[in-house]
Structure 1
Amino acid sequence: MINFIGMSKALVERELETMGFQLKGVIFENPRNICLEYRTSTIVRTLEITFQRKSDGLFCSLLRLY
């Protein structure tokens, strides 16, 4: 799997799409971070990605795969 840490949200989502992941929803959001849930439809895999808000956009800061 690709190391997404430090990548922009747009780049992360582009890579996830090629791997078959789709956005399912927001787990939590606060002024500094947003945590999103992605899932695959074939093999049930859940990916939680936390993006940190910076002045120039959202960047991956934490990743959990279940």
Structure 2
Amino acid sequence: MLIRDGEGDALPDLAAARALVLDTLREMRRLPHIYGPPRAWQRDVFVITDEAGGVLTEIPCDTPA
């Protein structure tokens, strides 16, 4: 299932976007009472896009953060 972030984040480069994803994954693992247990989302991916919606990269949720 795709969940779009309608607002997104304006970041300077792909490295900053990747760092934000890894920070988010750390938070998701730290707060399972909010995000659900990792088994519920560990097979999902974060899709990083440019402003036009073009896919730059995908980061699996089971990536070590």
TM class by smaller structure? 0.3 to 0.5
The higher relative CO (CA closer than 8 Å, separation ≥ 6) is in 1
Normalising by structure 1, what TM-score? 0.34
| Structure with the higher fraction of residues in strand conformation | 1
Larger Rg: 2
